[in-house]
């Protein structure tokens, strides 16, 4: 193997690099234990038969979990009331459009000035093909979907410390990495390094596959030529008539590429949650939530801030305040049973009558800090100047990534880009800035990749999820130890109360987790109600 400046790369180190790029399955298994990458277990619409007549179920929260619970319970014949803190439905399934106003903790208010039809999803923004519950609601409620482009080989990978800070096309990084790795493995195979591990016939097939995989030439080298240029692109592409003849491109230096770390971003497309096909609702992620809301609209009460959840052997009493005028609209709502989908970050601050095990579970799960910025530009320069139609650019700067709109391609006029999506310390740092300063810094960092940023920027909005009053975080962050100790107790029915939401699922941070959690919770609650009250008798 060729030495990399600073020391040779061992077999262990090379395998580790391969694992980062090609080991999506390994990452999937690791994330599964923490509850971030499970396949949906949705098997079809719920069938809840024999609901006792007149039984009243109170649902707390009108996010995806609460809305789906209310919809299914209503369809089963229950009397349903939904209490929601906000003045809108959807929870984190939230789309910001022109004219919307948003006030975060600390009092900073933003007004969105996007053009008509433009929007940003500060929360969920993708629907993987295997999130069957969400896709089923979209189908049943006639919500049109369109492709979400996760990987665009013409987008960029960027490091401030590699390639003189110049962004590199995703396509060339992937082609060069695959090509160099394939050449190294071919050399090792021909040198007998794999003897004893593979047979002679396997050796020949392996070499054929490496040539195909890496775009190697007849000498099994990743070199300038037709095969490599068909992967990484041409210096002068093939034309017509008397145009200049095609010119092959020169593969990048292997040492420079490996030192750059850009290959780390290649792994994302191999991860289970991001493998195609991926979808988005037309006109914004909130369209599925709004379709569910329209089904149960008459049962939803907005601006209802829950301050206490009390229960006894006969029923549930929830104390609520008017979120618009704290202290001036206190009232109580009574029901026979309760499905609570309030995020644990907020529920842990509410007075709840429940057993010590559930209370301990509620207080055991912290929430992630996350930050997104939506930027409107005067024109689609990424399409017009750089040929990028949808997809994601990755950078080692705090903004982390830039996502280009996956609709209205080639349109004239303004368009909105997701200009930043970050977690952890960077999210805290950006959210601590004044709102205009946040936008200036996001635009400055984006300008390291797209020189057009500053000239074409029009306006934008930012959301730091840990400063959102009704959640104080992005999503529940379970540890393996916390799941082992608290998860089952969190999900168990406590007398007349059951919890649901993405925090009560093994698909954390995804709407599908909220749907499956709600379905499981109300199925178990329905069984308990029938067993407690008897078929056809009111609670």
- The pLDDT tens digits of the residues spanning 276-321 come to 899 999 999 999 999 999 999 999 999 999 999 999 999 999 999 9
From the list 376, 409, 374, the residue with the least C-alpha distance to 391 is: 409
**Bridge partners of 319?**
308, 332
Helix axes 435-446, 424-431, angle to 10 degrees: 130
pLDDT of amino acid 127: 97
pLDDT of amino acid 535: 56
Kindly state whether residue 538 falls inside one of the protein's structural domains.
Answer: no
Kindly state whether residue 437 falls inside one of the protein's structural domains.
Answer: yes
Query: Domain of 394: which CATH number?
Result: 3.90.660.10
pLDDT band at 11 (very low <50, low <70, confident <90, very high): very low
Kindly state whether residue 160 falls inside one of the protein's structural domains.
Answer: no
Q: Do residues 65 and 144 both lie within one domain?
A: no
Q: Do residues 194 and 245 both lie within one domain?
A: yes
Kindly state whether residue 380 falls inside one of the protein's structural domains.
Answer: yes
> Is cis: bond before 74, omega within 30 of 0?
no
pLDDT band at 158 (very low <50, low <70, confident <90, very high): very high
pLDDT of amino acid 38: 56
Q: Would the pLDDT of 538 be above 70? A: no
Kindly give the residue spans of alpha helices, DSSP state H, lying in 215-338. 226-232, 254-260, 286-296
Q: Give the Cα separation of 366 and 346 in Å (integer).
A: 11
Mean pLDDT, residues 7-13 taken together:
40
pLDDT of amino acid 388: 98
242 vs 429: which has the higher pLDDT: 429
Q: Do residues 527 and 494 both lie within one domain?
A: yes
Q: Do residues 300 and 347 both lie within one domain?
A: yes
Question: Which three-class secondary structure string do you get for 77-140?
Answer: CCEEEEECCCCCCECCCCCEECCCEEECCCCCEEECCCCCCCEECCCCCCEECCCHHHHHHHHH
Structural domain boundaries enclosing 330? 35-90+287-365+478-533
The model's pTM? 0.89
pLDDT band at 396 (very low <50, low <70, confident <90, very high): very high
Contacts of 17 (CB under 8 A, 6+ apart): 9, 258, 263
Q: Do residues 439 and 393 both lie within one domain?
A: yes
Q: Do residues 353 and 325 both lie within one domain?
A: yes
Q: Do residues 294 and 428 both lie within one domain?
A: no
Query: Domain of 226: which CATH number?
Result: 1.20.1440.240
Q: List the single range of 13-27, 206-220, 438-452, 471-485 with lowest mean pLDDT.
A: 13-27
Contacts of 206 (CB under 8 A, 6+ apart): 185, 189, 194, 198
Question: What does 11-77 look like in DSSP terms, one character per residue?
Answer: HHHHHHHHHHHH-HHHHHHHHHHHTSSPPP---SS-----PPTT-EEEEE--BHHHHHHHHHHHHHT
Kindly state whether residue 23 falls inside one of the protein's structural domains.
Answer: no
Q: Do residues 406 and 454 both lie within one domain?
A: yes
Q: Do residues 503 and 355 both lie within one domain?
A: yes
Instruction: Indicate the residue among 445, 467, 489 that finishes a domain.
Output: 467
Up-side HSE of residue 22: CA atoms within 13 Å toward CB?
11
Kindly state whether residue 8 falls inside one of the protein's structural domains.
Answer: no
Q: Do residues 377 and 445 both lie within one domain?
A: yes
Q: Would the pLDDT of 8 be above 90? A: no
Up-side HSE of residue 25: CA atoms within 13 Å toward CB?
0
Kindly give the residue spans of alpha helices, DSSP state H, lying in 467-509. 480-482, 488-491
Query: Domain of 51: which CATH number?
Result: 3.50.50.60
Number of domains in the chain: 3
Q: Give the Cα separation of 179 and 192 in Å (integer).
A: 20
pLDDT of amino acid 171: 97
Mean pLDDT, residues 378-402 taken together:
98
Q: Do residues 352 and 381 both lie within one domain?
A: no
Q: List the single range of 17-21, 81-85, 256-260, 501-505 with lowest mean pLDDT.
A: 17-21
Which H or E run includes 402? strand 401-404
Cα–chain center distance at 101: 23
From the list 341, 353, 348, the residue with the least C-alpha distance to 82 is: 341
Using alpha carbons, list the distances in angstroms from residue 394 to 29, 179, 311, 486. 24, 21, 49, 36
Using alpha carbons, list the distances in angstroms from residue 8 to 4, 256, 274, 521. 6, 14, 34, 55
Contacts of 284 (CB under 8 A, 6+ apart): 95, 97, 119, 121
- The three-state secondary structure class of 446 is helix
Kindly state whether residue 132 falls inside one of the protein's structural domains.
Answer: yes
Mean of the per-residue pLDDT values for the chain?
Answer: 91
Kindly state whether residue 146 falls inside one of the protein's structural domains.
Answer: yes
Q: Do residues 296 and 428 both lie within one domain?
A: no
């Amino acid at each position: 193997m060729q030495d990399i400046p600073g020391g040779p790369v061992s077999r262990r180190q090379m395998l580790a690099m391969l694992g980062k790029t090609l080991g999506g399955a390994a990452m999937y298994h690791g994330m599964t234990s923490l509850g971030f990458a499970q396949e949906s277990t949705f098997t079809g619409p719920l069938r809840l038969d024999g609901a006792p007549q007149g039984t009243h179920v109170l649902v707390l929260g009108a996010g995806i979990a609460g809305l789906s619970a209310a919809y299914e319970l209503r369809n089963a014949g229950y009397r349903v009331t939904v209490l929601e803190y906000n003045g809108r439905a959807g929870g984190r399934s939230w789309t910001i459009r022109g004219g919307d106003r948003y006030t975060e903790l600390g009092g900073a208010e933003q007004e969105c000035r996007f053009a008509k039809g433009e929007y940003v999803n500060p929360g969920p923004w993708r629907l993987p093909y295997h999130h069957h519950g969400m896709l089923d609601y979209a189908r049943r409620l006639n919500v049109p979907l369109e492709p979400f482009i996760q990987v665009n080989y013409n987008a960029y990978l960027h490091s401030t410390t590699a390639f003189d800070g110049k962004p590199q096309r995703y396509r060339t990084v992937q082609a060069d990495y695959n090509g160099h790795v394939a050449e190294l493995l071919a050399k090792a195979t021909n040198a007998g390094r794999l003897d004893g591990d593979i047979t002679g016939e396997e050796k020949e097939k392996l070499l054929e596959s490496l040539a195909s995989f890496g775009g190697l030439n007849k000498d099994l080298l990743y070199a300038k030529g037709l095969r490599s240029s068909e992967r990484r692109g041409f210096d002068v592409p093939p034309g017509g008539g008397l145009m200049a003849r095609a010119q092959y491109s020169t593969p990048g230096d292997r040492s420079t590429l490996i030192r750059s770390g850009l290959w780390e971003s290649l792994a994302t497309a191999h991860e289970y949650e991001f493998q195609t096909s991926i979808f988005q609702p037309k006109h914004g992620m909130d369209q599925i939530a709004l379709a569910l809301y329209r089904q149960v609209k008459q049962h939803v009460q907005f601006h209802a801030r829950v301050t206490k959840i009390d229960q006894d052997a006969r029923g549930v009493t929830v104390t609520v305040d008017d979120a618009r005028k704290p202290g001036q609209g206190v009232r109580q709502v009574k029901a026979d049973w309760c499905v609570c989908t309030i995020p644990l970050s907020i529920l842990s601050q509410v007075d709840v009558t429940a057993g010590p095990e559930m209370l301990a579970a509620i207080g055991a799960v912290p929430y992630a800090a996350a930050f997104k910025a939506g930027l409107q530009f005067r024109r689609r320069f990424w399409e017009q100047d750089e040929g990028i139609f949808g997809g994601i650019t990755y950078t080692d700067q705090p903004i982390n990534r830039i996502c280009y709109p996956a609709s209205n391609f080639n349109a004239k006029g303004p368009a909105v880009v997701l200009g930043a999506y970050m977690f952890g310390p960077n999210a805290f740092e950006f959210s601590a800035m004044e709102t205009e300063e946040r936008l200036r810094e996001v635009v400055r960092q984006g300008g390291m990749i797209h020189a057009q940023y500053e000239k074409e920027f029009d306006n934008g909005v930012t959301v730091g999820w840990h400063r959102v009053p009704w959640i104080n975080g992005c999503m529940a962050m379970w540890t393996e130890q916390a799941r082992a100790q608290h998860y089952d107790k969190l999900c168990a029915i406590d007398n007349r109360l059951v919890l649901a939401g993405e925090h009560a699922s093994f698909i954390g941070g995804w709407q599908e987790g909220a749907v499956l959690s709600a379905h499981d919770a109300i199925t178990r609650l329905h069984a308990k109600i029938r067993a407690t009250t008897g078929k056809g008798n009111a609670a």
